[in-house]
Chains A and B, each alone.
Chain A
Amino acid sequence: MNIVVCLKQVPKKDSILRIGADQKWIDERDLSYEMSEADAYALEEALRQKEKHGGEVIVISSGPERVRQSIKEALAKGADRAIHLTDPLFNSGDPAVIARALAGALKNEKFDLIFTGLQSDDYGFAQVGLILAEMLGLPSATIVMEVQPEDSGVRVKRELESGWFQWVKLPMPALLTIQSGINQLRYATLKGIMAAKKKEIKEVKAADIGFTESDAISAQSIQRAYFPEKTKRTEIIEGKPAEAAAKLMEKLRFDARVF
């Protein structure tokens, strides 16, 4: 079974974010990056499926040079080869633009499943996977918690709201968006890191896939980025731990009356 995993690299979770000079995005200077969390789980699930059923895991990611680091991490963990969409034309704040680039690059690949994370930790669109499925004419299931390949297709456990679940059967090829936490992530081994050096990373530019300027037009774009206004006035309690603890307990007891 061949599985394509779409990976996105995002600023590390504990990054201190600042608004950029154009006030339309964050200031990207001095940031460290990592694989978006749900994508890491999608990769792990693909590797586990490959270990059980054989086949190939192909990772695909778009972005500048720094993205190679996440691609290499995926290869070191056990992915077989990678596609890196390097053209700046692919960069967009519109999920349809990146889906078009992915669709172009995957058109000639042979696969049974495409995995994406449920949503990215930066934009959080939760859209690219589904738009890609629509463009490639694939059936889809979102918020997937378990994947069971069967003779005639794939059976997946979907998370619904408020603790409800549902199994859904899909014919393959299909696209699944994977929920965080469905497995335990592995670390790359030294052997894996060494093996990764020999694995293929194919670079793809716009011209390679017939992606034109008009494909890159964003239908939605951020006009302003800013920190949220607080909806509540938060009283920050200062002081050394013991002091702050005493003050907080007093407030909870006499002002908030929670006891």
Chain B
Amino acid sequence: MSQGILLFVEQRDGVLNRTTLEALVASQQLAAGMSESLSAAVLGSGVSAVASEIAAKKLDKVYIAEDSKLAEYTPDGYTAALRQVIEKLDPRYVIFSHTYQVRDFAPRLTAALGKTFVGDCIGYKLEGGALLLTRQIFQGKINTDVGVSTEPPIFISFQTGSYRADQAAAGESTAQIENFTLDMSGVELRAKPEEKFQEAKQAVDLTQAERIVSVGRGIKSEENLGLVKDLAEALGAELAASRPICDNEWLPMDRQIGSSGQTVAPKLYLAVGISGAIQHVVGMKNAQTIVAINKDAEAPIFDIADYGIVGDLFEIVPALIAEAKKSQG
């Protein structure tokens, strides 16, 4: 009979991915709420330091599943290895952090096992013993509570930032670490990864900016960018953008805020014509003061803004520039 919660521990080159600690917080709460045991699995090669780091947290057991075929992440290697761990341990829940790596293999793994994966959750609810997982649809505009009707294990990933890593409870004593023996002999790694690399060094370090004016799709065309540039200048702010602007090459990639760009926490983040898709929000939600200017009163950006102006940015931004200049004068 399936029991317990298994947390997938993500590491790269022997370094723990911090978002795993967020998923650990969710797992610890879930384990307490459902009176389940909690264990963790670290996959890789030479990952005992990562296992020790996790074993210091409040959980029952840490499994190390090592193999030379896991030295570099591949979807085939990770799918096969984690499948073996899950088939042996038979957990009720398998929990991940919703990282790019997890997105690359967890759906394959669940399909291979004939199970279901509720991905990118922002929380959960226990209602009369039943687990409901909260995930957002329409790019953060609507929340849903999702129920699962298959036999365990149930696979769940939590979105980055949904839980706070610093709330991970430490253990009273170090959890037991156990080596899990994999048989990877028959596993073919079809994808052959090359070295990871970064594009040309980032010219603009937005993480150091005190104030940021950020522009999104609402600006409509490249010609209109001058308007937000003027606003940034008038406010003594750096100019940044959401992904569509950089995809269109209206601004260079190093100005992009969000999951695929920079993560910032300035004193002021002024979002102009940005709807607030989750991929953008994860890069700026920790700003001290968030201002949103958007024509759509329902835009998700208003859910996290401190101040909002609903209206036409082409009328509001010029007024703001005039006002900012007035106070300088």
Contact = CB atoms under 8 A, between A and B. Distances in A.
Interface of chain A: mostly helix, strand, loop or mixed: mixed
Given A141-B191, A163-B261, A258-B268, A248 B309 contact: yes
Contacts of A252: 268, 289, 291, 307
A232 B305 CA distance: 7
Given A220-B147, A234-B306, A256-B268, A170 B191 contact: yes
A225 B191 CA distance: 38
Contacts of A135: 111
B315 interface: yes
A241 B43 CA distance: 56
Interface stretch (A106-114, A125-133, A191-199, A203-211): A125-133
Contacts of B139: 121, 124
Given A131-B108, A236-B309, A168 B191 contact: yes
Interface stretch (A1-9, A49-57, A83-91, A92-100): A92-100
B171 interface: no
B192 A168 contact: yes
B111 A134 contact: yes
Contacts of A133: 108
A222 B288 contact: no
B99 A218 contact: no
Nearest to B277: A121
Given A139-B190, A221-B146, A241-B316, A235 B307 contact: yes
Contact of A235 (B104, B120, B306, B319): B306
B35 interface: no
A241 B323 CA distance: 11
Interface residues of B, number: 91
Nearest to B100: A161
A187 interface: no
Main secondary structure of the interface of B (DSSP, over half): mixed
A249 B141 contact: no
Interface in B124-145: 132, 136-145
Contact of A256 (B145, B190, B192, B289): B289
B111 A130 contact: yes
A211 B318 CA distance: 58
Contact of B322 (A162, A236, A245): A245
A137 B323 CA distance: 61
A141 to B, nearest CB: 6
A154 B97 CA distance: 29
Interface stretch (A11-19, A58-66, A67-75): A11-19
B74 to A, nearest CB: 8
Contact of A222 (B75, B144, B211): B144
A94 B116 contact: yes
B236 A259 contact: yes
Interface string A173-187: 010000011001000
A213 B305 CA distance: 46
A21 interface: no
A248 B202 CA distance: 32
A231 interface: yes
Nearest to A256: B289
Interface in A138-191: 139-143, 159-171, 174, 180-181, 184
Contacts of A142: 100, 103-104
B91 to A, nearest CB: 17
A169 B194 contact: yes
Given A130-B108, A237-B309, A249-B327, A223 B132 contact: yes
Given A143-B104, A170-B191, A258-B288, A244 B309 contact: yes
Contacts of B263: 162
Given A140-B75, A161-B99, A222 B146 contact: yes
Given A131-B110, A143-B103, A180-B247, 6 more contacts: A16-B296, A124-B137, A141-B75, A223-B145, A241-B316, A245-B319
Interface of B: 75-76, 99-100, 103-105, 107-108, 110-112, 115-120, 132, 136-150, 190-199, 202, 210-211, 235-236, 243-244, 246-248, 253, 259-263, 267-268, 288-292, 296-298, 300, 302-312, 315-316, 318-320, 322-324, 327
26 contacts: A96-B111, A124-B120, A130-B108, A139-B75, A139-B190, A163-B198, A164-B196, A165-B196, A165-B197, A166-B193, A166-B195, A168-B193, A169-B192, A220-B147, A225-B137, A226-B144, A227-B298, A228-B140, A232-B306, A241-B312, A241-B318, A252-B268, A256-B267, A256-B268, A259-B211, A259-B235
